[in-house]
Structure 1
Amino acid sequence: MPDRIYTSSTAEEVLNTLRYVTRFEYSVLARVALALSLSKHGRNAPESPDLTGKEIRWTSLFSDDEHTFSSVLTMVYGEKMSKEDELFARRVKHHIDGGCELLGQLFRSSGQDEIIFLQRLAAELPLTGGRATAGGVPILNIVLGMKELNNERVVIELNNTARHANSHLAIMGKPGVGKTQLLLKILADIRIQSRFQTNFIYFDYKGDVVVDDRFVEITRCTTYQLPHQQLPINPFILEDYAASSIMISAEEKAESFASIDSHIGTVQKGALSDAIRTAYDRRSAQALRYPDFREVLSIVRDRYAHDNKKDDSLIEILRRLSDFHLFWEHGSTQPLIDRISEQTFLVDLHQLPVLKELVVYLVIERLYKEMAALPDSDTKEGRRALRTILVIDEAHNYLAQKNPFLQKIIREGRSKGVVVFFASQSPNDYSQKFFDFKELLEFSFIFQCEGVSATAVQELLGCSTKTARELQVELARLRPFQVVSKSLTDDAEFTRFKAEAFFKAYQ
């Protein structure tokens, strides 16, 4: 009965290298290699006759999990196997050697960087547990890139409550300088480091993220391309259906419409609010208490017809929402998302001819309502668990809107573990008279951009007036992927680094 295996000499080289880099034991690395090969090769692991490598005993390889591995191999090969079988030992050896080859390729493609290698490994083979937690809360230390002068890693401790007031983040820069690549890299790292516990809701304004299959795969993200697909969200779902809750929701929807379309006046807001309350009332005796936009449109049309009133902007918006079937409707075959804060999904808006801003507005409203009803997220050893991240690309299209729900998420989201990430074209976008976005952004990353206000730079980076004026000129001269950020240390006014691209980190 075999009680050990001998790897190939090539596999031994890989194990030695990775043990030095990761400080994992040989047995742990061999198990990872075995699992990776089973995942990638299945029953077709390449045969490996070389026995001149590392000796690995069963007791160290399997520990108390030998029955689990026997069951896995039985399932993969379709025949009962146990470690007493000679065939079992050969197959384990082939898979360990084959898995070591895969690990070696992955390490080389990661530039022999430990953190990048482990992140890619986690993406290829989702691992349980986790290397870094604080009392069970994942530690989110995100590598942004390298300082150009000394190649020192630039890292943000995203959920460290002792160092940072919140986790809100903004990335700014002209098109084509790398800001979206950094954003995707940060999101992928968060998903992997949190063991997919931290979700995100991403609004893709340009349509360049939804087609990135690698990002979608790694982050386990569901995509919805509007208007070709329906967003399985009903904006009328409430925590409770008391008369006061319905009245407040109806008034908020009316304000939402008015903030998006200046043609929606007082009379139209009143008509919309009244129609929404009526729609809820008509559903009061049904199992599903929430209406949809088709029902609201029908009520408004009936009342306009009764009053001999011509169609106007309110009718047009409701008609578009209904005709495009943008949101879930009664009778839809698609399962309805009950809690959007518990899902990771991307909404592609770039082909939607109208109502982009309203769609975003209504989803943000829904997220805030869920957030407000949640208990505070866990905080252990100075680390707060992040539940979900609201990601708004091309944010300059939204920042000028007086969206009270976005403002409330930014102000109140910290304790709930709800975070906002913005990507926009200029620091000037965050200078809004009605709300001080700059004050509540903990992390600010500025790529190349022109015509930047020194005041905006000073307020975003927290630097002196003199430094902000000097940076005005420097920001216009930055090369792609060069970034100036709020200082991440205590000994400088700002930090300058070269950002890491998602496509390189996760190629």
Structure 2
Amino acid sequence: MIRFKIDLESTELLDRITTIYNFKRDTITGRIALSLSLEKGKKFTEETLSLAQNGREYTPTSNLFGRLINDTDNFVLYKTIFDQHYNNELSENEFIRLYKLHLKDGLDLWKQQLDNSDITKGEHISILLKPIKKGLTLRSNTPHISIDRKKTEIKEFKDLLSFEIGKSENNEPIIIKINDLREFDNRNIAIAGMAGSGKTQLIKDILYQISKNSNDELKFIFFDYKGEGNPEQLKSFLEAANAEFVDIVNDGGVNFNPFLSINLDERQRPFSIRAFVDTISTFVPKMGVSQENIIISLINDLLDRKNGSYPTINELFNDLENYYEENGIRQDTLYSVIRDLSTNIFNCNPNNPSILSKSLYLNLPPALSDTLRQLVVFLLLRFFNSYFTSTNDCEPQDHIFPIRYVIVIDEAHIYLKNKNARKALEDLLRLLRSKGVIVVMLSQGVEDYKTKDFDFASQVQLPICLNIQNKDYKAISNFVGTPNSRYKLETEIKKLDSGKGLINIGDPKIIELRQWWRTKREENL
């Protein structure tokens, strides 16, 4: 979650207006001030000077944007409003800068009206009633827009989803009710453990239980970045979890068209294409602005020619090849990557079922370059982000939050070290939280989840620390959460070993981890 400071003048105005209206928190005042600025149509340009950072600081726990009914932070809602207001997909830094400018603008507008009103006669209340009344009038006149649900619906698992992650030292099973809102308001999972700690065996066991306990209704995708999967060795797991194994190299690619992440709506298409190209440039070495513009232009031309349908990567490569030849451009890294994506990675058969309709174990062997392996993962993640964002939020029933899909990202530290990839993961965790998607990240150490610009552990409700090399108390407590007793956590950290895990639910405790190899033997799978 974001952390930033506003200017001193805005801080003083916030406190003054909050006191006048007797609001419980200054964040309420801030949200109203923001709406007053946006309602006037105010826009700031890149040339507008940034404000000083000498006032109040807002942190991940400030509840700055308020929360939805299912206790989901409204950051995404505000970010979307700003994107639409500026007709651009803003970065987080751009959003924060504009937020502070609009906050100050709205507070100044509010102050001017208060200075010209008689508070003793309740005129300050009338100031707020006018925009509220206007908003209600606009809402009553808003036409209903029907949506093609065939493109956006996916089956929801609406029952309680639980699985065991291990047993306590007293041999009591540790059951995780992942979509019970009384226990978890966030369904993302992070697992940290070095090689041999048991994290791969643990996640296989969890996926098996999810498949079994949902009667195979919940589907998942497992990105095996190490590419060590062997279909014969994985046979029992694949059969038990009802999953398909795809080796990107040996099976001739995966049946998927990455262009599906592009929104064909004329208003959204430019931003979707830009996001698609940004994903490519994140991982393609030395890809410059001119190359990005070439790809954007070629994709636009392709979409125009296809007239409402999606092109294939193969068609993009053909156009790119012709463009390079006609303009005398030498083959470069971009050329090689698009060629490899079209010939070895993505098979775009329109008759294939949706990639979301089945569970998939995607093996990415080292025979592929790091560039291609990472790009495959993020082109698929881009699609998931686009697809689920187009769906309605899941509606909790009583205390149960419906689940739609599970994404497992192995070797997550590979991406967390890349600033641009890190941003994409951050967006994924935030945007999919209300869409019923569980994101599971596996990494080698707890420190991987905390970076300069974002604390990924803050977006995870279930962190599980396995045996790790760096057993620093501060790093582990940042990952699993501050314990009730430092002594208790320090004591449990000393017990970490292969096959054991540390959780901080209620109190820190060491557990004997569930392992797929053991479950397979015990259940004769």
- For normalisation by structure 2, the TM-score amounts to 0.64
Aligned counterpart, 2:246: 224
Aligned counterpart, 1:178: 198
Kept in 2, the 8 Å contact 1:341–1:370? The answer is no
Kept in 2, the 8 Å contact 1:409–1:419? The answer is no
Q: Secondary structure at the match of 2:389?
A: helix
The one-letter code sitting in structure 1 at the alignment partner of 2:333 is: S
Quick one: structure 1 residues 271 and 506, their matched pair in 2 at CA, closer, same or farther if it must change by over 3 Å?
Answer: same
**Candidates 168, 171, 196, aligned match of 2:216:** 196
| Percent identity (aligned) | 24
Aligned counterpart, 1:482: 500
Q: CA deviation at 1:263?
A: 0.7
Q: CA deviation at 1:461?
A: 1.4
1:500 matched to 2:509? The reply is no
**Candidates 427, 439, 442, aligned match of 2:461:** 442
Aligned counterpart, 1:374: 391
Aligned counterpart, 1:412: 431
- d(CA) in 2 for partners of 1:462, 1:478: 17
The one-letter code sitting in structure 2 at the alignment partner of 1:353 is: L
Quick one: structure 1 residues 323 and 161, their matched pair in 2 at CA, closer, same or farther if it must change by over 3 Å?
Answer: same
Aligned counterpart, 1:341: 356
Q: Secondary structure at the match of 1:206?
A: coil
Kept in 1, the 8 Å contact 2:281–2:287? The answer is yes
Aligned counterpart, 1:270: 293
- d(CA) in 2 for partners of 1:310, 1:447: 49
Post-superposition CA distance 1:406-450 (Å, at most 9, x none): 322211222210110011111111122233211101111111111
The one-letter code sitting in structure 1 at the alignment partner of 2:396 is: T
- d(CA) in 1 for partners of 2:466, 2:157: 35
**Candidates 246, 249, 253, aligned match of 2:269:** 246
**Candidates 457, 469, 475, aligned match of 1:456:** 475
Post-superposition CA distance 1:247-272 (Å, at most 9, x none): 22221121111111241111111111
Kept in 1, the 8 Å contact 2:495–2:510? The answer is no
- d(CA) in 1 for partners of 2:458, 2:238: 32
Kept in 2, the 8 Å contact 1:482–1:499? The answer is yes
Aligned counterpart, 1:353: 368
* Equivalent residues in 2 for 1:187-336, closer than 5 Å: 187-211=207-231, 212-229=234-251, 230-237=253-260, 241-284=264-307, 289-324=309-344, 326-329=345-348, 332=349, 335-336=351-352
- Structure 2 spans left out of the alignment, 5+ residues: 1-155
The one-letter code sitting in structure 2 at the alignment partner of 1:221 is: A
Kept in 1, the 8 Å contact 2:465–2:480? The answer is no
- d(CA) in 1 for partners of 2:158, 2:292: 44
* Equivalent residues in 2 for 1:424-435, closer than 5 Å: 424-435=443-454
Aligned counterpart, 2:164: 143
- d(CA) in 1 for partners of 2:289, 2:486: 47
Quick one: structure 1 residues 418 and 173, their matched pair in 2 at CA, closer, same or farther if it must change by over 3 Å?
Answer: same
**Candidates 426, 436, 440, aligned match of 1:421:** 440
The one-letter code sitting in structure 2 at the alignment partner of 1:484 is: L
Q: CA deviation at 1:336?
A: 2.5
Post-superposition CA distance 1:180-200 (Å, at most 9, x none): 111111111111111222111
Q: Secondary structure at the match of 2:416?
A: coil
Kept in 2, the 8 Å contact 1:484–1:496? The answer is yes
Quick one: structure 1 residues 276 and 457, their matched pair in 2 at CA, closer, same or farther if it must change by over 3 Å?
Answer: same
* Cα-Cα RMSD: 2.5
- For normalisation by structure 1, the TM-score amounts to 0.66
- Structure 1 spans left out of the alignment, 5+ residues: 1-134
Aligned counterpart, 1:113: none
- d(CA) in 2 for partners of 1:391, 1:323: 26
Q: CA deviation at 1:351?
A: 4.6
Kept in 2, the 8 Å contact 1:198–1:389? The answer is yes
The one-letter code sitting in structure 2 at the alignment partner of 1:348 is: N
Kept in 1, the 8 Å contact 2:501–2:511? The answer is yes
- d(CA) in 1 for partners of 2:293, 2:488: 49
Kept in 1, the 8 Å contact 2:483–2:489? The answer is no
Aligned counterpart, 1:19: none
Quick one: structure 1 residues 282 and 207, their matched pair in 2 at CA, closer, same or farther if it must change by over 3 Å?
Answer: same
